[in-house]
Chains A and B, each alone.
Chain A
Amino acid sequence: MTLTAEPTTTLREGAFGRATELVCRECGTTRPLGPFYACHECFGPLEIGYDFGTVTREQIEAGPSNIWRYKALLPVPDDIESSPNLEPGFTRLLDARNLAAELGLRQLWVKDDSTNPTNSFKDRVVACALSAARELGSKVFACPSTGNLANAVAAAGARAGIPTVVFIPSNLEQPKQVNSAVFTEKLVAVDGNYDDVNKLASEIAGEEEGWAFVNVNVRPFYAEGSKTLGYEIAEQLGWRLPDQIVIPVASGSQLTKVHKAFGELIKLGLVEDKPYKIFGAQAEGCNPVATAYKAGVDAIRPVKPDTIAKSLAIGNPADGIYVLDIARQTGGAVEEVSDDQIRDAIVLLARTEGIFTETAGGTTVAVLKKLVETGVLDPELETVVINTGHGLKTLDAVSGSVGPYATIAPTYDAFSAAEIA
């Protein structure tokens, strides 16, 4: 029995590059590439299956300085660079010597995704979703979001010339509303929290023809964009994998995809096969995966989020169980930190490396610190930490903890008296 209608749009040859089908991660059921995200047998998440053929380092290195250098590994057409997009990625991998010294690590790198076009890693995933929306002939590009994703979707849609509709919780802080509204006419405020907005988006996606919700019905394509973080880290390290990596966990998609990327690079012979440990970072106020990890169980009990790390506040993470598997298989862990530890870590990263991270990055750095202090993470091994977004997005988080050292009269006497020098 065919349970859902197949897409009516005729796809052009090579619309999804070397992607061949959608595969259920749970039960392995396959279906043709299209705007589907849940398995019609078991509701499990659908993933992109590929037939990569041969991909070489030279081929990648000859590509542009953005994620399209990895287009052979993504579900996008070969002419992807010719369609207007934000050209995200190939962000810097910084040798974080000061932070390493502060934490007692031998070698630490920060993958700084705050330098993407709308200042978060979301530009990567949205660029892949945009390509899928275009190839599927979608009329509207949409998302439910609390911030970063809304910014990325609204901006990418503007550049691509495709109408956008962005749904946000109505109590979202005004600066965040402006950050998206500047790019789109249709910012829709919904009376409810993120989970309510998310549920509404799922219902709209099921009713409205031609709407591409980036993290709902084109989610399999969207999620693949996170793999580029893994590819870039490996290439920037000189085509090798790090020993340890710390990644924030909300739905768990990014961590899962970085792991997938490393696996693909090994399989394609682009890096040497070696062990690496993957660590997940959560906030205490939204810690369903860390709780399950520590309890040694496979089932994740949903929580109602209450943390300053809003971009990590997903109480019922869809990929949480896969994060548990990956952390356990690779010898990593999933750890959590308090809101105060997150604030402290934001300031720590800013004052050691000159990087202003948002609360999600604060969570990741705070977890890194905790993992070192508790001896879970080996300080002698080469470590990468991912900074997913810019601190200007979550100014409120630290506006109470940093500020003027002194307020003085405009005189040299006042300067001297304040003991600033």
Chain B
Amino acid sequence: MSINVRIPTILRPYTQDQSQVTAEGATLTEVLDSLEASYPGIKARVVDDNGALRRFVNIYVAEEDVRFAEGLDTATPDGTQISIIPAVAGGSL
């Protein structure tokens, strides 16, 4: 089970500046745990102390915002592309 994860600039110091890394897991939670094992400290940047997705972080699994799917329980089939993106971007008025 190999998952591709796109890393935003803010988190690249954890990934030795890699913009794309691979991880394992059948759900987003498992993928985040796998990332944490490889890149210690990264998970706490994305998930708060209560284990919830941080308010200003968006995660997309296969281009779908996980807040519209099952959140951290969203399934991550083999080969899935995941993107972590700061939520502050974009918008108009």
Contact = CB atoms under 8 A, between A and B. Distances in A.
B90 to A, nearest CB: 4
Contacts of A302: 65, 67-68
A406 interface: no
A83 interface: no
Contacts of B2: none
Given A26-B56, A199-B60, A302-B67, A2 B13 contact: yes
A319 B93 CA distance: 10
B91 A202 contact: no
B9 A318 contact: no
Interface size class, chain B: 20 to 34
Interface of B is mostly: mixed
Contact of B92 (A38, A122, A199, A202): A122
Given A43-B54, A195-B65, A302-B65, A201 B13 contact: no
A42 B92 contact: no
Interface stretch (A10-18, A102-110, A127-135, A249-257): A249-257
B58 to A, nearest CB: 7
B19 interface: yes
Contacts, number: 121
B88 A44 contact: yes
Interface string B51-88: 00011111010010101100000000000000101111
A3 B88 contact: no
Contact of B89 (A122, A207, A216, A311): A216
Interface of B: 6, 8-13, 19, 45, 54-58, 60, 63, 65, 67-68, 83, 85-93
Interface of A: 1-4, 26, 37-40, 42-46, 121-122, 144-146, 148-149, 195-196, 198-199, 201-203, 205-207, 213, 215-216, 219, 248-254, 299, 302, 304, 311-312, 314, 316-319, 321, 360, 388
